[in-house]
Chains A and B, each alone.
Chain A
């Protein structure tokens, strides 16, 4: 038991001795450097325990721009005299990035560190710093610009490559971070870019910071956001600032405070495009070329033709419409296929956009694809340029009747909508409430013709009478008058007044003929009556009866003694004669 105790004690001593032996603290640095050129000094402590209170000596002319620590530990196991022992080694590295501002030979005294209460010193270093060009590692162009911009230790800055532009002209805008501290980005809000159309330039998922020397200070810089912006309206447009929340770290890489930063704003003067826009201008700004071609120029019916239209160049692709390729309705057009091949550059989008049309001809014949014009605003020449493609001639061969008619499937017409009918384009204006009816002129239009007629009738009444009315009335009345006379005669016959009887009968007959035939009384003789009757185509029987009765009456009147006259017979003869006459006329 004793021996074993001693053994353990001995081992512990060895172990302790071994630890004491293993502690190393070394400094390393490049042998030479240049002014303005950052270089790294490394202090490596290897010890079984963590070192504390690292002190870097102050050296004039050297500035620490960045420092950090890294730590790793290792176990080593050793077997001595069949006994196994293991020990831990912790390696701690202090890395200091320093920049020399003056050229000279720097000697850096030893740094110190405390391990387990004991202080250890590193070796000394000497570095030969020659005159160097501080800008060599950075882009000189941004350096000068940044020098005026970077006024704080921590800021984000918005820059554009132009401050005046035409509407639709591509502008390159980017946001850059400058920081003298170790930072990480917590939150980042790009500007909304109101009144601009934006095309973002893709950024790597993790942004690597670079070191840049500006105004004799070393900054960590990173471009956080890049994009192409295209102004959409004229006038001076202010770009709203970017905003970011940054996490700051202390010298040893531990999180310190959070800081919110807001970038500057930027104002762009946007000029309108000249007003003499060509008809085919759809908004293109830049420099373009157009091309149109067909895969076939002679096709069979129902065989598809592909027509490609392509615009290539540099400019605001996506902000103008592609012109349309058209063919007559005898071609069926399939949905056009749109492709683009664009890359984003700081001076615009470059590449091409193209549309592929597929047409299927249905009717044979010769057709032309009309030349397509495309106008754009050339930024170099500052004027509109019109491009025109060649027209394409397409010949379609084949028999139309077979295929095209098969295509038609009849159905009810499809109603798409309903609306009121369209307005009328011709008009005849009339005064409102203008009525002729009831006006003086209206009444006069009746009265004047009526009075005229009245006067005419009055002045020409003789002629009117002569002409017509009396004759007609007499003719109509002749029958009645003669019948009246015969009635009177009959009454005489009853009263045996023979002389009066014969007189009335003959008067009735004479009067009747006179009225009916319109023979004036003065001309009334047997001769004229017979002639008139004959001229009016009265039958001979009637004429002879008339003459006979008239004669009998004369004889009876003037020679009453003569016998053989029966008044009854004469009366009936006269009345039958008149009724025959009426029928005959």
Chain B
């Protein structure tokens, strides 16, 4: 038993170690000061500097998005808001600012509504990040085993019955969390959405001479369906699919 606990502690501790270098936080504060003094270009430079070190946070993307917005660079504002939202999917401020910024871009699409079940599923999966799901999965796996031991070693029939069911339930939760953790990891490693950065045409095929379908203006959010070396197959907010050159996009 003590061996198990030491493993749990070890695993949890390794996640809890956040290499929060003080200098990055100072840069963050300085960038916020720039923003407050309406010096938006300097604020942008400072936030980008933090991100270049390999650290990130929803708040940095959000503040960067705000700075770009104030500099009237709406596509970049939306890109960074979307990145912030990816890390904090339920943040009210981010959602508001995305909606507000969308008023400043040229293309206005009628959204194709998502299936409600898809929506609920996405909402649950995205309610925590990959690492939280991983820890949850491991924790429930271990709990399940502990409860299973109660089942094994107990003499009282009723206790054995309850322990058996709880053990199965925990195992189920662990498996689901495992799947979610895997989902979230691939969601972040293989971005499935992008923001249009330059005005470009949506083509029917991944070729320069493919038929032009739509003109897409900067700032539009596209769902990535497929990709090859130079092209992305994307879906517009109105449901239209087509191919766009890779360098016209910035993945979220």
Look across to chain B and name the residue whose beta carbon is closest to the beta carbon of A469.
B152
* Whole-angstrom CA separation of A448 from B54 in the bound complex: 32
Binds A, one of B129-137, B198-206, B212-220: B129-137
Q: Is the CB of A449 within 8 A of B59?
A: no
Contacts of A468 in B (CB 8 A): 154-155, 160
- A residues 398-441 near B (Cβ < 8 Å) are 418-438, 441
Contacts of B145 in A (CB 8 A): 449-450, 452-453
Look across to chain A and name the residue whose beta carbon is closest to the beta carbon of B101.
A420
Q: How would residues 147 to 178 of chain B score, 1 for a CB under 8 Å from any chain A CB and 0 otherwise?
A: 01100111101001000000000000000000
Q: Does A460 contact B (CB under 8 A)?
A: yes
CB distance from B90 to the nearest CB of A (A): 15
The number of residues on chain A lying at the interface, defined by a beta carbon within 8 Å of a beta carbon of chain B, is 39
Q: Does A464 contact B (CB under 8 A)?
A: yes
Contacts of B149 in A (CB 8 A): 453, 456
Contacts of A441 in B (CB 8 A): 10-11, 14
Q: How would residues 13 to 45 of chain B score, 1 for a CB under 8 Å from any chain A CB and 0 otherwise?
A: 011001111001100100010010000000000
Q: Is the CB of B66 within 8 A of A437?
A: no
Q: Is the CB of B153 within 8 A of A429?
A: no
Look across to chain B and name the residue whose beta carbon is closest to the beta carbon of A422.
B66
From known contacts A429-B24, A453-B148, infer whether A436 and B134 are also in contact, taking CB-CB under 8 Å. yes
Binds A, one of B181-189, B231-239, B240-248: B181-189
Of B14, B70, B133, B145, the most chain A CB neighbours within 10 A belong to B145
Look across to chain B and name the residue whose beta carbon is closest to the beta carbon of A423.
B63
Q: Does A5 contact B (CB under 8 A)?
A: no
Q: Does B230 contact A (CB under 8 A)?
A: no
Q: Is the CB of B135 within 8 A of A436?
A: yes
Q: Does A457 contact B (CB under 8 A)?
A: yes
Q: Is the CB of B101 within 8 A of A472?
A: no
Binds A, one of B92-100, B111-119, B120-128: B92-100
> Chain B contact residues: over half helix, strand or loop, or mixed?
helix
- A residues 444-475 near B (Cβ < 8 Å) are 444-446, 448-450, 452-453, 456-457, 460, 463-464, 467-468, 472
Q: Is the CB of A432 within 8 A of B54?
A: yes
Q: Does B225 contact A (CB under 8 A)?
A: no
Look across to chain B and name the residue whose beta carbon is closest to the beta carbon of A461.
B152
Q: Does A10 contact B (CB under 8 A)?
A: no
CB distance from B17 to the nearest CB of A (A): 10
Q: Does A9 contact B (CB under 8 A)?
A: no
The one of B25, B70, B138 that contacts A442, using a Cβ cutoff of 8 Å: B138
Q: Does B141 contact A (CB under 8 A)?
A: yes
Q: Is the CB of B28 within 8 A of A427?
A: yes
Look across to chain A and name the residue whose beta carbon is closest to the beta carbon of B98.
A420
Q: Is the CB of A424 within 8 A of B18?
A: no
* Whole-angstrom CA separation of A444 from B14 in the bound complex: 14
Q: Identify the 6 closest CB pairs spanning chains A and B, nearest first.
A: A423-B63, A424-B59, A429-B55, A436-B134, A445-B138, A427-B59
Q: Known pairs A424-B93, A429-B56, A445-B8. 10 more at Cβ < 8 A?
A: A422-B66, A424-B63, A427-B59, A428-B20, A430-B55, A434-B131, A435-B134, A436-B11, A436-B15, A457-B152
Interface residues of B (CB under 8 A from A): 1, 3-4, 7-8, 10-11, 14-15, 18-21, 24-25, 28, 32, 35, 50-51, 54-57, 59-60, 62-63, 66-67, 69-70, 77, 93, 96-97, 100-101, 130-131, 133-135, 138, 141-142, 145, 148-149, 152-155, 157, 160, 181-182, 184-185, 188-189
| 17 A-B pairs in the complex with CB atoms less than 8 angstroms apart | A419-B100, A420-B96, A423-B32, A423-B35, A423-B62, A425-B32, A433-B189, A436-B11, A436-B181, A438-B185, A444-B7, A445-B7, A445-B8, A445-B141, A452-B3, A456-B149, A472-B157
